[in-house]
Chain A
């Protein structure tokens, strides 16, 4: 069964204090790894897709990287508006490839 574990569960940063969120996964063949952002009371919003180890994607202050066992979401010089829950999800390449399996997320709070 596909599994996704995210750490830490919660992270509190000062504005400008860079850090990383971790997503460890177990899947029988990775078709894709996805990062989403979820604001309170809203649906998840797509950020990145990574397909193979070594791949990196960037968007503003966020950079996602992928290895064979985990992915990191690096946040550089965060601002209060980056506060949200960040979700990681995997899509398997086998028979269950019509669903995304999500982790429980990391709640990021950036204080001004």
Chain B
């Protein structure tokens, strides 16, 4: 158990809909990272927050947004969903601002029909 909690574990929705994925980092970790994993692309970095502030952005679509709350949990919002958004979405946390060793949650599997 990494100590990182993600909900929901599975989500099935339709094209055009909006979903929110939630992540609680390990106790004491200030950084939260979101990654997308698909079969053909591997793990792709989306966005990082450190102590409530956005620190880095990867190839995150404009339809996607995230935030980190004062209690350090984070949410990833995916809107106007398309079939190609079907993937595993992982949250990871680390103690420092720079990643180093990341602790990953078990992921949220999103299926868009």
Contacts and interface: CB of A to CB of B under 8 A. Distances in A.
Interface stretch (A21-29, A38-46, A52-60, A65-73): A38-46
27 contacts: A31-B98, A32-B100, A41-B106, A41-B107, A42-B106, A43-B90, A43-B105, A43-B106, A43-B107, A44-B102, A45-B2, A46-B101, A46-B102, A87-B42, A91-B99, A98-B97, A98-B99, A99-B45, A99-B56, A99-B58, A99-B99, A100-B99, A100-B102, A101-B45, A102-B43, A102-B44, A105-B42
Interface of B: 2, 4, 33, 35, 41-45, 48, 55-56, 58, 90, 92, 97-107
Given A96-B56, A102-B42, A44 B100 contact: no
> Chain A interface: which size bin?
20 to 34
A41 B107 CA distance: 8
A63 interface: no
Contacts of A18: none
A98 B56 CA distance: 6
B56 A49 contact: no
Contacts of A99: 33, 45, 48, 56, 58, 99
A86 interface: no
Contacts of A87: 42-43
A100 B41 CA distance: 15
Interface of A: 31-32, 34, 41-46, 49, 87, 89, 91, 96-105
B101 A49 contact: yes
A70 B62 CA distance: 34
A100 B103 CA distance: 12
For the complex of A and B, the 10 pairs showing the least CB-CB separation, nearest first, are A43-B104, A98-B56, A104-B42, A102-B43, A99-B45, A46-B101, A44-B104, A98-B55, A98-B48, A43-B106
Contacts of A42: 106-107
A49 B105 contact: no
Given A45-B2, A104-B41, 6 more contacts: A49-B100, A98-B48, A99-B48, A99-B58, A101-B45, A102-B44
Nearest to A89: B43
